[in-house]
Chain A
Amino acid sequence: MSTTEAPPNTGTNGNSGYRWVGTRPVRHDGLDKVAGKARYAADLVLPGMLHGHIVRSPHPHARIISIDTSAAEAMPGVRAVVTGADFREPPPKGADRNLMCTVIARDKVLYTGHAVAAVAASTRREAKAAAEAIDVTYELLPHVLNIANAMADDAPVLHDNMFTRGVEPRPTEPSNVAARTVYERGDVEQGFAEADIVIEREFSTQAVHQGYIEPHACVVDCGQDGKTMIWCSSQGHFKVRSATATVLGWDTSQIKVIPAEIGGGFGGKTTIYIEPVAALLSTKAGRPVKIVMSREDVFRATGPAPGSIIKMKVGARSDGTITTAKAWLAYENGAFQGIAAMLGCMCVVSSYTLDHLYVEGFDVVMNRPVNVAYRAPSAPAAAFATESVVDEIARQLGMDPIDLRLHNCPSQGDPTPYGPKWPVIGLRDCLEAIRDSDHYQSALPSGQGRGVATGFWFNIGEASSATVNLNENGTATVITGSPDIGGSRVSMAIMAAEELGLDVHLIQPVVGDTEVVGFTDVTEGSRATFATGMAVVEACRDLKRQLCGRAAKTWDCDIEQVDWVDGAAVHGPGEHDPLTIAAITAGAKRTGGPLGATASLNARGAGPAFSVQVADVSVDNETGCISVERYTTAQDAGTAIHPSYVEGQMQGGVAQGIGWALNEEYIYTDDGTLENPGFLDYRIPVASDLPMIETIIVEVPNPSHPYGVRGVGEVGIVPPLPTMANAVADATGCRITDLPLSPPRVLREISAQG
Chain B
Amino acid sequence: MSRTHVRTHVTCEVNGDAVDFLTEDGESLLNALRDELGLTGAKEGCGTGDCGACSIIMDGRLQCSCLIFAPEANGTQITTCEGLATAGELHPLQQCFLEGAALQCGVCTPGFLVAAKVLLDENPDPTETEVRYALAGNLCRCTGYDKIVRSVLDAGVQIRTSAA
Please list the residues of chain A having a beta carbon within 8 angstroms of any beta carbon in chain B.
Answer: 24, 26-27, 29-31, 33-40, 42-43, 45, 75-77, 124-125, 210-215, 261-266, 292, 294-295, 485-487, 642, 644-645, 647-648, 651-656, 678-680, 684-688, 690, 692-693
Q: B146: which A residues are within 8 A, CB to CB?
A: 647, 651, 690, 692-693
B41 in complex: contacting residue of A36, A642, A655, CB < 8 Å: A36
Q: Are the CB atoms of B141 and A31 closer together than 8 Å?
A: no
Least CB distance, B28 to chain A, in whole angstroms: 11
Residue with the greatest number of chain A CB neighbours at <10 A, chosen from B107, B131, B138, B143: B107
Q: Are the CB atoms of A486 and B3 closer together than 8 Å?
A: no
Least CB distance, A234 to chain B, in whole angstroms: 12
Q: B39: which A residues are within 8 A, CB to CB?
A: 36
Bound CA–CA A75/B2 (angstroms): 9
Q: Are the CB atoms of A295 and B46 closer together than 8 Å?
A: yes
Q: A487: which B residues are within 8 A, CB to CB?
A: 101, 104
Q: Which residue of A lies closest to B147 (CB)?
A: A648
B70 sits at the interface (CB 8 A): no
B103 in complex: contacting residue of A33, A76, A266, A685, CB < 8 Å: A33
B81 sits at the interface (CB 8 A): yes
Q: Are the CB atoms of A648 and B101 closer together than 8 Å?
A: yes
Least CB distance, B59 to chain A, in whole angstroms: 20
Q: Are the CB atoms of A648 and B142 closer together than 8 Å?
A: yes
Known: A261-B105, A266-B141, A652-B141. A678 touches B46 (CB 8 A): yes
Bound CA–CA A35/B47 (angstroms): 22
Q: Which residue of A lies closest to B50 (CB)?
A: A679
Q: Are the CB atoms of B108 and A213 closer together than 8 Å?
A: yes
Q: B53: which A residues are within 8 A, CB to CB?
A: 213
Q: Are the CB atoms of A213 and B43 closer together than 8 Å?
A: yes
Q: B150: which A residues are within 8 A, CB to CB?
A: 692
Q: A651: which B residues are within 8 A, CB to CB?
A: 143-144, 146-147
Known: A34-B98, A213-B139, A690-B144. A486 touches B149 (CB 8 A): no
Q: Are the CB atoms of A679 and B105 closer together than 8 Å?
A: no
Bound CA–CA A212/B142 (angstroms): 8
Q: Are the CB atoms of A644 and B82 closer together than 8 Å?
A: no
Q: Are the CB atoms of A678 and B50 closer together than 8 Å?
A: yes
Q: Are the CB atoms of B142 and A486 closer together than 8 Å?
A: yes
Q: Are the CB atoms of A264 and B141 closer together than 8 Å?
A: yes
Between-chain CB contacts (< 8 Å), 12 pairs? A30-B103, A34-B90, A35-B41, A213-B43, A263-B107, A647-B146, A648-B101, A648-B147, A652-B141, A655-B144, A687-B131, A693-B146
Q: Are the CB atoms of B144 and A295 closer together than 8 Å?
A: no
Bound CA–CA A261/B40 (angstroms): 13
Bound CA–CA A271/B98 (angstroms): 30
Q: Are the CB atoms of A264 and B3 closer together than 8 Å?
A: no
Bound CA–CA A647/B150 (angstroms): 13
Q: Are the CB atoms of A31 and B144 closer together than 8 Å?
A: no
Bound CA–CA A29/B148 (angstroms): 17
Q: B149: which A residues are within 8 A, CB to CB?
A: 687, 692
Q: B99: which A residues are within 8 A, CB to CB?
A: 26
Q: Nearest 3 A-B pairs (CB), nearest first?
A: A36-B41, A263-B107, A655-B144
A26 in complex: contacting residue of B45, B82, B98, B141, CB < 8 Å: B98
User: What is the 8 Å Cβ interface bit string for chain B, positions 68-105, against chain A (1 contact, 0 not)?
Assistant: 00000000000011101100001000100111110111
Known: A35-B85, A36-B80, A651-B146. A680 touches B141 (CB 8 A): no
Bound CA–CA A692/B152 (angstroms): 13
Q: Are the CB atoms of A36 and B142 closer together than 8 Å?
A: no
Least CB distance, A648 to chain B, in whole angstroms: 6
Q: Are the CB atoms of B51 and A213 closer together than 8 Å?
A: yes
Question: Restricting to B99-155, which residues have a CB under 8 Å from any CB of A?
Answer: 99-101, 103-110, 113, 128-129, 131-133, 135-150
Q: Which residue of B lies closest to A44 (CB)?
A: B40
Q: B106: which A residues are within 8 A, CB to CB?
A: 29-30, 33, 38, 261, 263
Please list the residues of chain B having a beta carbon within 8 angstroms of any beta carbon in chain A.
Answer: 1-3, 5, 24, 31, 34-35, 39-48, 50-51, 53, 80-82, 84-85, 90, 94, 97-101, 103-110, 113, 128-129, 131-133, 135-150
Q: A692: which B residues are within 8 A, CB to CB?
A: 128, 146, 149-150
Q: A680: which B residues are within 8 A, CB to CB?
A: 48, 50
Q: B138: which A residues are within 8 A, CB to CB?
A: 686-687
Q: A292: which B residues are within 8 A, CB to CB?
A: 44
Least CB distance, B24 to chain A, in whole angstroms: 7
Q: A77: which B residues are within 8 A, CB to CB?
A: 1, 3
Q: Are the CB atoms of A35 and B82 closer together than 8 Å?
A: yes
Q: Are the CB atoms of A33 and B109 closer together than 8 Å?
A: yes
Q: A213: which B residues are within 8 A, CB to CB?
A: 43, 45, 51, 53, 105, 107-108, 139-141
Q: B147: which A residues are within 8 A, CB to CB?
A: 644, 647-648, 651
Apart from A36-B82, A43-B34: 18 A-B pairs, beta carbons within 8 A:
A31-B98, A35-B41, A35-B81, A35-B84, A40-B40, A40-B107, A76-B3, A213-B53, A213-B140, A294-B47, A295-B45, A295-B51, A645-B104, A651-B147, A652-B142, A656-B141, A686-B138, A692-B128
Least CB distance, B92 to chain A, in whole angstroms: 11
Q: A39: which B residues are within 8 A, CB to CB?
A: 40
Q: Are the CB atoms of A687 and B148 closer together than 8 Å?
A: yes
Q: A295: which B residues are within 8 A, CB to CB?
A: 45-48, 51
Bound CA–CA A76/B3 (angstroms): 7
Bound CA–CA A183/B29 (angstroms): 56
Bound CA–CA A679/B1 (angstroms): 37
B105 in complex: contacting residue of A24, A214, A654, CB < 8 Å: A214
Q: A686: which B residues are within 8 A, CB to CB?
A: 135-139, 145
Bound CA–CA A685/B113 (angstroms): 19
Known: A35-B85, A264-B142. A687 touches B45 (CB 8 A): no
Q: B1: which A residues are within 8 A, CB to CB?
A: 75-77
A76 in complex: contacting residue of B2, B42, B81, CB < 8 Å: B2
B141 in complex: contacting residue of A30, A38, A211, CB < 8 Å: A211
Least CB distance, A283 to chain B, in whole angstroms: 22
Q: Which residue of B lies closest to A679 (CB)?
A: B50
Q: Are the CB atoms of B113 and A34 closer together than 8 Å?
A: yes
Q: Which residue of A lies closest to B41 (CB)?
A: A36
Bound CA–CA A38/B103 (angstroms): 12
Residue with the greatest number of chain B CB neighbours at <10 A, chosen from A655, A688, A690: A688
Q: B2: which A residues are within 8 A, CB to CB?
A: 76
Q: A76: which B residues are within 8 A, CB to CB?
A: 1-3
Bound CA–CA A430/B123 (angstroms): 40
Least CB distance, A494 to chain B, in whole angstroms: 13
Least CB distance, B114 to chain A, in whole angstroms: 9
Q: Are the CB atoms of B145 and A690 closer together than 8 Å?
A: yes
Least CB distance, B58 to chain A, in whole angstroms: 16
Q: A212: which B residues are within 8 A, CB to CB?
A: 105, 107, 141
Q: A294: which B residues are within 8 A, CB to CB?
A: 47
Q: A124: which B residues are within 8 A, CB to CB?
A: 31
A43 in complex: contacting residue of B3, B5, B40, CB < 8 Å: B40
Q: Which residue of B lies closest to A486 (CB)?
A: B104
Bound CA–CA A110/B138 (angstroms): 34
Bound CA–CA A140/B155 (angstroms): 57
Q: B97: which A residues are within 8 A, CB to CB?
A: 30, 34
Q: Are the CB atoms of A652 and B104 closer together than 8 Å?
A: yes
Q: Are the CB atoms of A648 and B143 closer together than 8 Å?
A: yes
Q: A125: which B residues are within 8 A, CB to CB?
A: 5, 24
Q: B51: which A residues are within 8 A, CB to CB?
A: 213, 295, 679
Bound CA–CA A684/B105 (angstroms): 17
Known: A36-B110, A37-B82, A688-B136. A24 touches B101 (CB 8 A): yes
Residue with the greatest number of chain A CB neighbours at <10 A, chosen from B48, B105, B131, B147: B105
Q: Which residue of B lies closest to A657 (CB)?
A: B144
Q: Are the CB atoms of A214 and B81 closer together than 8 Å?
A: no
Q: B144: which A residues are within 8 A, CB to CB?
A: 648, 651-656, 685, 690, 693
